[in-house]
Amino acid sequence: MKIGVLASGRGSNLQALIKAWQEGRFSAEFVAVGSDHADAMALKRAEDAHIPQRAFPLKDYSSRKEQEQAILEWLQESGVDLLVLAGFMRVLSPHFLKELNCPVLNIHPSLLPSFPGLHAQRQALEYGVKVSGCTVHFVDEGLDSGPIILQEAVPVEPGDTEETLAERILKVEHKLYPEALRLITAGQIKYDKKK
CA distances (Å), origin 104, targets 83, 155, 163, 165: 5, 28, 27, 26
108 has catalytic annotation: yes
CB contact set of 20 (below 8 Å; sequence gap of 6+): 26, 178, 181, 182
Among residues 37, 50, 95, 108, the one annotated as catalytic is: 108
Closest CA to 184 of 107, 109, 111, 132: 107
| Phi (first) and psi of residue 172, to 5 degrees | -70, -40
Instruction: Write out the catalytic residue numbers.
Output: 108
